[in-house]
Amino acid sequence: MRRTSFMYVLIEERRDVTTKHISQFHLIDSDEFLLQRSLMALQYLPANFFALLQSNKPFSDAMARRRDLPQFRKILPGEVHPLYWADMLQTPGVVIMSGNIIPGWVEKLSCARPIALLTSSEQTLKHAKSLSNACSGLLKGFADIREFYRVVGELLERLKRFPALLDQVPENLHTIDTSNLLGLRPRLDFIDYLPSPQPWAGRSAAMLYNRLSNAAEEPSLLGPEFDDQPMFAPAMLNWATAACNALMAREHGIAIPRSAGVKPAEVNRLARLLASSAAAKEKVDEFMRIGRIISGKGTIRRPFLTVPVPRLDVLKKPSTGMTLDFAEPTQRRMMANAMTDFVRGTKRSEFDSSDAEDVYRTSQHTILQEQRLLACQATWLSSIDERIPIQLRPFRGNVPNAFRDFLNALAHNSKKSSELFRVLELTLAASLPDGVVEHLLKRASSVTLFTDYPYEWTLIGDRPLCLHRPTARLPLSMNAWYNVSATLLKPYKLTPGDPSKVLVLDLIEKGDKIRPYSDAFLRSSTNIGNRFTRATPKNALEARELVCKFSPEIVLIDSHGRYDQQADEVRLQMDGNWYAFNALLPEPPISPVWIVSACETAQSEALRGCVVRSLLSRGAYTVVATLARVDAFVASMLAGRLLADVYQPMPDAGERSFLDIFFATQLTTALMYDPLLPLLHKAETDPKITDRFHEMRLEIVHWAHGRPIDPRTYHEEMAKKLTESLVRHDLYDLYRNLQDAGHVRPESLLFSIYGFPDRVTIA
């Protein structure tokens, strides 16, 4: 098998072998801080050998660079998995990146074959130069790119003495001038290099823009005067990506769609201009003009929005296995002061003691480093589906308090839940900078959120974002982002028309008061032809073995769940016992889609104890999980409707993404069942209205079945139909009384979708 990708290996250094430290504010594994120099360099480097070669399709190459970032493995100094070792022996382009240590296995590897080794330490570089087959370079200042190409050139020369490895390298690299790889690299030379702004001023977008052009030779930083222009780099990336996509389509003979807003003749004229001897400014101006038109007059249709809200809530009560650098109450107060000042853009100069000053300065440095790490993560994650990354400056505001108040109301079944949810929607919207709601979220076609808080509930007009546009979320802290990035390189196509690929782990016991809802879900699914693979494991081991045995594409878990904050662990009930969720998960790779229909499976205060983090880190593409306690009826209706839309679509549905399917399902369930839920539960105990209620519900279901869903009008259509049906069946007054009494809650919205559901499609 040919191995043409570079294999980047990052040596992971831990301060303590048994403990994972966390940074103070966003709860990132602080071990990544030691790798930050390598991660920042990697953003500029090629993903494979083909990216070193020019071709006759420069815009296709540019889009490949923008989409395919280098994938890497993190390896501890004393631990090398046998599969990793085999890969390192057989892959031509092995690039080791290290800080302060060269493990013994690196020396052993260099004896067996040539390697490239890049380090940020001059002392480590001296050690590397003593290795027999190591081509070494120093990551220092702004020389990263030059050093990489120089070192890889040396690596290619040494590979000539290893035919088994050289044969896997593209033939054009066998005879190329390896001392001038940097000068020969493919690039869009009419686009200037864009220096890197601060993370909250568009750093991730600038990185991807520079990958598109490949013009950078010596990276540099933009001055603080650009800090107030956070949309400059994202806008440039948005326009350049749109223009490149059109020119790439032309290179492959693909017609420009009418919806692009430009005619094929305009794209042809642009291509001729870019190939001419015209001035670079004329070229880039026309390139950006065409890109702005194609992108919808500059609208960022698919933003990747990083919303960093420092996690001071968790720092007050760290969970098992987490170690804080500053643990004393006085130190924590100084940390909070440092965070507040950072948000305001200020710094203190007077302190009560040297210890207080040290904590303050360390904390301000840490939060800045966290922002840089988040920018690196966003570069990789947003590239997965060609989204435009936008990172906000960290803030606190009233979001944590408003969210906690809402969750407390839900936990106590308070009639204030609906009112507090509205307050939370408004608080989320108000916390975002001017223009983000109106000009970004409102106009986007879909949104990916990178945050720990449920910004999918941000109020857009008169409804939450997740009922306005398809919206998915990624946890910001402790998210194994490098595994997510590596897993989702290729989209996943579900097998059409085969519901047996769904494994239902039916964990609700007979005699349980919510068992009728589970039975109704299974019965109605079977009636429409969705015959799922159903299993009733008695313990976590059986559940894990069943997932391995059937290798399903979708796993649906129907269970009771609860989150243990002290242990930072989600547990599911099986046969009367409670098991840690991780205990039922097999080794990766795992099923691409998971629907966890149980309470408290993705609570925002969780760190690692969250089914979303557990599943995404093992290779899942997308996860549907719950933020709090959920109603069993709504859960069964949402799961049933979701899978019906996947496997029993309308005849003209065409290819759809799982994100679009979930959006339509949640929209319908929220508008149909959330308002009726109190009435339904009353009908279960009051025989006087039982028949009327079920007749009315069937009437609405028949009306909604097969009806096209336009998010702009569906709210009004559904509200009108509900009112008409309630009046017709003499239930309207009772419905209004229950609503006015605060019994209506946003049950459907307590389910959120995580990961990259737009990478999962079905025909």
pLDDT tier at 324, thresholds 50, 70, 90: low
pLDDT at 712: 85
Percentage of the residues of the chain whose pLDDT score is greater than 70: 96
Residue 714 backbone class (left: φ over 0; alpha: ψ -120 to 50; beta: rest): alpha
Residues 382 and 297: beta-carbon distance below 8 Å: no
Weakest-pLDDT range from 143-147, 220-224, 282-286, 543-547? 220-224
Please report whether residue 152 resides in a domain: yes
203: pLDDT confidence band, cut at 50, 70 and 90? very high
Given a cut of 90, is residue 762 above it in pLDDT?
yes
* Mean pLDDT in residue range 237-244: 97
379 phi and psi, to 5 degrees?
-60, -50
- Residue 390: strand pairing partners: 305
Give pLDDT, residue 396.
79
Q: In what order do the strands lie in the sheet with 94-98?
A: 72-75, 7-11, 94-98, 115-119, 134-138
Does residue 370 share a domain with residue 223? no
Quick check: 198 pLDDT over 70?
yes
Per residue in 365-384, pLDDT (tens digit) is 888 999 999 999 999 999 99
CATH code where residue 707 lies:
3.40.50
- Domain boundary, last residue among 301, 334, 350: 301
Residue 120 domain-assigned (yes or no): yes
Of the two residues 479 and 16, the one the predictor is more confident about is 479
Residue range 154-174: average pLDDT?
A: 95
Is 190 among the domain residues? no
Average pLDDT over every residue of 570-591: 94
d(CA 38, CA 148): 12
- Please report the pLDDT score of residue 16 as a whole number: 56
**Angstrom distance (rounded) from CA 105 to CA 85:** 9
- 431 and 338, same structural domain? no
Cβ atoms of 539 and 553 closer than 8 Å? no
* 377 and 235 co-located in one domain: no
180 and 205 together in one domain: no
Q: Which domain holds residue 441?
A: 397-469
Same domain, 420 and 328: no
Instruction: Give the DSSP H or E segment for 388.
Output: strand 388-391
On average, the pLDDT of the chain sits at 91
Residue 476 belongs to a domain: no
| 136, amino acid identity | S
Same domain, 419 and 282: no
Q: Which of 353, 376, 394 is the last residue of a domain?
A: 394
Same domain? For 258 and 321 the reply is no
Token readout for 205 is 């977008």
Same domain as 366, residue 293: no
Does residue 1 belong to any structural domain of this protein? no
pLDDT for 433 equals 92
Kindly state whether residue 475 falls inside one of the protein's structural domains: no
Identify whether the C-beta of residue 748 lies closer than 8 Å to the C-beta of residue 463. no
**Sheet strands (E) in 205-319:** 303-306
In the structure encoding, which two tokens stand for residue 555, read together?
A: 């796993």
> Residues 277-289: what's their mean pLDDT?
96
Q: Look at residue 20 in the predicted model and tell me its pLDDT.
A: 53
More reliable by pLDDT, 312 or 39: 39
Is the pLDDT at 319 greater than 70, yes or no? Answer: no
Q: How far is CA 666 from CA 421, 603, 676, 704, in A?
A: 17, 19, 15, 13
Please indicate, yes or no, if residue 194 is contained in any of the structural domains: no
Work out the average pLDDT over 196-206. 95
Residue-level pLDDT at 258: 83
Q: What is the pLDDT of residues 61-94, one digit of tens each?
A: 999 999 999 999 999 888 788 999 999 999 999 9
Task: Flag whether 694 is in a domain.
Answer: yes
Please say which residue of 347, 374, 394 terminates a domain: 394
- Mark whether 214 and 169 lie in a shared domain: no
Q: Do 602 and 725 fall within a single domain?
A: yes
Is residue 507 located within the same domain as residue 650? yes
Please write down the long-range contacts of 141-144, taking CB distance under 8 Å and 24 or more positions apart. 142/218, 142/219, 142/220, 143/218, 144/40, 144/41, 144/44, 144/118, 144/219
The count of other CB atoms within 10 Å of the CB of residue 221 is: 12
pLDDT digits (tens, 9 = 90+) for 442-486: 999 999 999 999 999 999 999 999 999 999 999 988 788 988 888
User: What is the per-residue pLDDT across 98-136, written as a single tens digit (0 to 9) for each?
Assistant: 988 999 999 999 999 999 999 999 999 999 999 989 999
| Mean pLDDT confidence for 682-691 | 93
Residues 555 and 486 in one domain: yes
- Asked if residue 547 has pLDDT above 90, the reply is yes
Query: Looking at the 3D structure of the chain, how many domains does it have?
Result: 5
| Residue 19 pLDDT greater than 50, yes or no | no
